[in-house]
Amino acid sequence: MSAPRIESDVLHAYHDGELSPLARWRTKRLLARDPAARAELTRLAELRAAVREVASGASTPDFWPGIAAQLAALDARAEGGLEATPGQAPALAGLHAWLRPLAAGALAAAVAAAWLVFSTPTEAVDGGVVRWLYTKGRPVMVLDRPDAATIIWMLDETPGDQTGRGTSGVYI
Amino acid sequence: MCTSDRPLGSRGRRALAAGTLAFLLAAPAGSQQLRDPGPARRPGTIGFQMTVSHVSPSPGPIDPRGAALHRRLKDEIRYESLRVLEQRRLDLAVDEIGTMQLPTGRRLRVRPLDVGKQGVLVAVDVEGSMKTDLRVPNHKLVVIGGQPYEGGRLVITLEPEY
C-alpha cells in the first residue's frame, strides 16, 4: 500500500503558510515520507527567494530630484553668475554608483545646451571684414565700414557701466 | 699739362652739380632706411603689421607712433591718452600661426587662412576674450580693443600687407 501523496495545491498552501494547524501537522507528517514532495517544496522556496531578489532589485531610486536641483543651479548661474554652493556638490552622492555616469551625462548635456544658448557666435551677413565673431557672450561693438578702419570693441558686461556710443563715442 | 689750381671748367661745374643733386636725392632715401630698417618680407608670406597700444581716460600725451590709430579711433572711443606698447610685423604663410604675448599675460594668435580678391582671410584669437575670422583687404586697418588693462583698455591693430 502506497503512502498518500500531497496534492500540489496543498503543498503550495503549506509553503505559503495558509493551512490550518491540523492540516499543517498532517502535511508535515506526509512530507517526512515523501521525497518528491520535499523536493517540490525546496523548489518552491528557491523560486520565492528568486522572485524576492528580483523584486528588491527592481526598486529603482528616484534620481530626478537630484538632477532637477542641478538644472536649477545651472539656470541660476547662467542668469545671475551664481557660484556653486558647497551643499550642492554632493547631490549625486545619493545615487547608486551605476546611475552616476547617467546623471553626469544628463548634466553635461544640460551644460552644453546652456552654453550653446548663451554663447551663440555672430555671423556676418553683409560680406564686411568681420566674417565671424565669438566673444563668450560679452557685448561687443563692431564698426565695419569699407572706407574706414574696422573697429571691434569689447564692452563691459556690467549693466550701466557703458554709456553707449553716441556722438561723442564710447567711454572707456 | 694739368694743374690742381686750374679753375673749374664747364664740364667740372656740371659734374659738381650732378654730384650735389645725386647727394640730395640719396639723402632722404638713406634716412628712410634708417627709420625703417625692417627685413624684407619672406617670400610666400603675408605680412601683418601688429601694434599693441594702451588708451586711458587719464590725461596724457598721444604717442606719435600711434598717431594714425588716434586719427581713426578718436571719434569712436573716448580716451585722453594713448601709448604704443609694442610694434611688430608677423610674416606668416597660409595656415601658419603667429603669436604675440599681450601685456595682460594672455596671448594673441593670428592665422591667415586664405588670400583672395577681397583680401586675406585671417583667424584672430585674443586668448580668453574673443575669436574672430576677418577678411581684410590689403593695407586695411583692423582695430580690436576693449580689454581692461591698467585703468584703461588695450588696443590691438592689425594691418595686412601682401
Candidates A154, A158, A168, A171: best to mutate against B (most CBs of B within 10 A) is A154
Place B120 in a pLDDT band, splitting at 50, 70 and 90.
very high
- What pLDDT, on a 0 to 100 scale, did the predictor assign at position A84? 45
Neighbour count for residue B105 (Cβ, 10 Å): 8
Candidates B54, B129, B132, B141: best to mutate against A (most CBs of A within 10 A) is B132
User: In the predicted model, what is the mean pLDDT of residues A56-83?
Assistant: 68
Please check whether residue A143 touches B, CB under 8 A. yes
R_g (Cα) of chain B, nearest Å = 23
Candidates B110, B130, B158: best to mutate against A (most CBs of A within 10 A) is B130
Please check whether residue B118 touches A, CB under 8 A. yes
Query: pLDDT tens for residues A85-96?
Result: 444 445 555 555
A115 Cα to chain B: minimum distance (Å): 15
Place A22 in a pLDDT band, splitting at 50, 70 and 90.
confident
| A chain contacts of residue B133, beta-carbon cutoff 8 Å | 130-133
Place A74 in a pLDDT band, splitting at 50, 70 and 90.
confident
Residue A82 has pLDDT above 50, yes or no: no
Residue A38 has pLDDT above 50, yes or no: yes
Please check whether residue A82 touches B, CB under 8 A. no
Query: pLDDT tens for residues A112-154?
Result: 555 554 555 655 545 689 999 999 888 999 998 888 899 999 9
Place A164 in a pLDDT band, splitting at 50, 70 and 90.
very low
Residue A81 has pLDDT above 70, yes or no: no
Q: Which of A140, A153, A172 sits opposite B57 (nearest CB)?
A: A172
Residue B72 has pLDDT above 50, yes or no: yes
Place A163 in a pLDDT band, splitting at 50, 70 and 90.
very low
Comparing alpha-carbon positions, the chain B residue that sits nearest to A147 is B140
Q: Which of A38-42, A57-61, B101-105, B121-125 is least confident?
A: A57-61
**Mean pLDDT score of chain A, rounded to an integer?**
72
Query: pLDDT tens for residues B15-55?
Result: 656 655 555 554 444 433 344 546 788 888 999 999 999 99
The number of CA neighbours under 13 Å toward the Cβ of A121 is 12
- What pLDDT, on a 0 to 100 scale, did the predictor assign at position B126? 95
**Mean pLDDT score of chain B, rounded to an integer?**
84
Please check whether residue A137 touches B, CB under 8 A. no
| B chain contacts of residue A138, beta-carbon cutoff 8 Å | 129-130
- What pLDDT, on a 0 to 100 scale, did the predictor assign at position B102? 97
d(CA A110, CA A118): 12
- What pLDDT, on a 0 to 100 scale, did the predictor assign at position B39? 74
Compare A35 and B52 and report the one with higher pLDDT.
B52
The number of CA neighbours under 13 Å toward the Cβ of B90 is 24
Please check whether residue A119 touches B, CB under 8 A. no
In this prediction the pTM is 0.53
Please list, in sequence order, all residues whose beta carbon lies within 8 angstroms of the beta carbon of residue B51, skipping any fewer than 6 positions away.
B66, B69, B84, B86, B87, B88, B155, B156, B157
d(CA B108, CA B69): 19
Q: Do A129 and B144 touch (CB under 8 A)?
A: no
Please list, in sequence order, all residues whose beta carbon lies within 8 angstroms of the beta carbon of residue B141, skipping any fewer than 6 positions away.
A149, A150, B68, B69, B72, B157, B158, B159
- What pLDDT, on a 0 to 100 scale, did the predictor assign at position B4? 43
Please check whether residue A129 touches B, CB under 8 A. yes
Please check whether residue B115 touches A, CB under 8 A. no
- What pLDDT, on a 0 to 100 scale, did the predictor assign at position A26? 86
Q: Do B55 and A172 touch (CB under 8 A)?
A: yes
Instruction: Give Cα B32 to chain centroid, integer Å.
Output: 14
Location of C-alpha cell 501523496: A5
User: In the predicted model, what is the mean pLDDT of residues A35-47?
Assistant: 87
Compare B2 and A56 and report the one with higher pLDDT.
A56
- What pLDDT, on a 0 to 100 scale, did the predictor assign at position A46? 85
Please check whether residue B41 touches A, CB under 8 A. no
- What pLDDT, on a 0 to 100 scale, did the predictor assign at position B7? 52
B34 Cα to chain A: minimum distance (Å): 28
